[in-house]
Structure 1
Amino acid sequence: MGTRQLESVVRERCRSGTVTIAEVSRLFDRLLATSDPVPSIYPFNHLFMALVRMKNITNYYPTVFSLFNRLTLNKHISPDGCTYSILINCCTRVDRVRLAFVLLGRFLKVRSGTEARLFNPLLKGLCKDNRIHEVAAIVLNKMPKLGCIPDLFSYNILMNGLCKIGQIDKAEELVDYMVSKGLQPDVVTYTTLIDGLCKKGLLDKATQMLQCMISKGLEPNIVTYNALMDMLCKKGEIEKAEELLDFMVSKGIQPDIVTYTTLIDGLCKKGLLDRANQMLQCMITKGLEPNVVTYNALMDVLCKKGEIEKAEELLDFMVSKGVQPGIVTYNIFIDRLCKKGLLDKANQMVQCMISKGLEPDVVTFNVLMDMLCKKGEIEKAEELLDFMVSKGVQPDIVTYNILIDGLCKKGLLDKAEQMLQCMISEGLEPDVITYSALRCTVQTRRN
């Protein structure tokens, strides 16, 4: 098989999406062994991309770098910007951001200029690690100094990061800045801002942004509508959310699992279980399979209504459909069992969860701790706190509030104040619930 024919085979196999790691390695070996003529870098890039796109890349990434190192030893084939971009993307996907920086530095040493696509995977990785200020420094300062002009994707990544940490004003300023640099916002830009505004509860501004987006000739996509729908449901405005669903469909955009799950959750939180079930049936008839979040919403409302047996039946049905329960699922049941005073059954549910390979989280421990405090078993609650910390689960403000309230109710005022100091030393600020519990302490001491 000639070089060009082999390159064509590599390209087609990689595009098929069915290539295996063993096949990638074989094709890589064949390409390296071909010398008349020497293959270009492009088929190698196809192979690297195929590896990085594999779901279990965490297991395969050493193979990616093993192949890359072999490629760099070849005197006739040089990795290009695309190669490095793929490898940097691989690094960020497996949480190896430091290695991504090393690769970027290595590329910059041998190339006088570079493209934004080389930085963008690194920017995404930094955002994933909540290193937003570093992203801003790279986009606004470092890239321009290196002669690399940030592209729309670079700005959108930074905008997403700013919205993620609640700095909506800076994200809006960034839009004006990128426009001044000759870049026009796209659907992703506006959707990112709309989602950020919705998460901050600024529904009116989000709606205005939607209108601005449409006036620019940009059509909102399913992600845009889902963000608005989520906000409406969180505000309890279910009717408006359903109207938005109808409007979305009239625009030719079909709802997805997120859309239906958002509406089902909103209906459940309003106690409208019948309508939630109707929405579930509508979802299924559309060929969309409910996921664990969908089922959790329904089980949560059943548990809150005291219909635990129905919730358990739904749990069994969910498992029969191949949907595995998660920590949130178990926490729903544990919380309700504790509130009904069924501590033994709640503990059985915890053991069931652990047997499934799921570790209790801070919510699980808080629920159990609250139950123990309400039963006056404060010593057991404190023991549970120590056990929780030994498992690497950090207490949150809810944990401390539960224990402070429990200690106050038992008259253990000195220990309650010690717990407050411990909470503050952990960098947690007391809230209204903390002060409410401690007010009882002050009043008790005065009496």
Structure 2
Amino acid sequence: MMALEVFEEIKGKGFSTVAIYNILMGALHKIGDVQKALSLYGEMKDLNLELDLSTFCIAIQCFVENEDIQDACACHNKIIEMTDVPSVAAYCSLAKGLCKIGDIDAAMMLVRNCLGNVASGPIKFKYTLTILHVCRSGDAEKVIEVLNERMQEGCRPDEVICSAIISGMCKYGTLEGARKVFTNLRERKFLGEASTIMYDEILIEHMKKKTADLVLSGLKFFGLEFKLRAKGCTLLPR
């Protein structure tokens, strides 16, 4: 707080830089004052300062914690436009945020991008790809076995891991297979009742989306999509 007071003094005299803003934003984020951190981010934009990688990485984490996932994604896109790479902390935060809103495909793509761009990616993301790979078997028991191995190593299931289970089982397994995995986690107290219900809802919505995508792909393959639209079918996604 004393640093902020000093900053207000020097800012009034025209001494403010992106580096100083970044230091304060990072400190405010660490103590949990994301609103104040985001207000500094807004100030920087209003002043038309040239925001850098650190600015956007901190902003991503703050926006996610403030449940503003769209703004967090906008910051991520700015980093990509700069032909730069987000920090591991920013990657992890945004992936978690996307999973919470059920945007599983985007979250899994982010996980892969992180491991492709960062020399030493987070263990959690490597664990995520392992889960996706074992889901190719479509066997819930094998997924549970891998989860058991990873939990013994201290990797407990979180939003990203649970989303990987949903993604993999919807693509390669079944709805009931995914439910079997989540039931196992709930019975062993790794998931609470509320979380289990939430993931089941996300599972159903994701399976619906994947089924709709398959139907649309089939219609396009057989050249039926245009004919159905011409007949006034309004149920087809655009």
Q: TM-score when scaled to structure 1?
A: 0.29
Question: In terms of Rg, which structure is larger?
Answer: 1
- RCO (CA 8 Å, sep 6+): is it higher in 1 or 2? 2
